Amino acid sequence: MADQPTTSSSIDAELDRLKIKGGDSEPERGLVIFGVILFIVGVIGVVVALQGAHTSAEVTVQNEKIIMAIGAAMLGLAGVVIWARYSMTRYLRYWLLRVIFEERYQQDRSIEVLERIEAKLSK
């Protein structure tokens, strides 16, 4: 391990060995799915409301449907924000773990080199 370069596969193998499941990551997965569902419901709501406004002849009904479409668009936007926030949290947690393992690997290599230098100097 002393002179082996850091490979992505060795870091990935170490991360796979950890198998981070359950606990804190499960609520995030549920919120990611909730955000996607909220977005889909918002888009469907916008389409249905605008179609209803288009088929109506009364201005008051059209205005109500347009207001409902705006509300559905806000619902869809909230879904996108929820999805983006929790997706980025999971992604950044993964890369933080990669950085930690990379730093640990580099520190171990530095210690090995220093120990070899010390052994040669003490001779």
Burial label, 92 (beta-carbon count in 10 A; 0-12, 13-18, 19+): exposed
The whole-model pTM stands at 0.64
Q: What are the residue ranges spanned by the domains of the chain?
A: 26-122
CA triple 94-96-101, angle to 5 deg: 100
- Tell me the pLDDT tens digit for each residue of 76-122: 999 999 999 988 888 888 888 888 888 988 998 999 999 999 999 98
- Tell me the pLDDT tens digit for each residue of 37-55: 999 999 999 999 999 998 9
d(CA 61, CA 122): 91
- 């999971």: which residue's tokens? 90
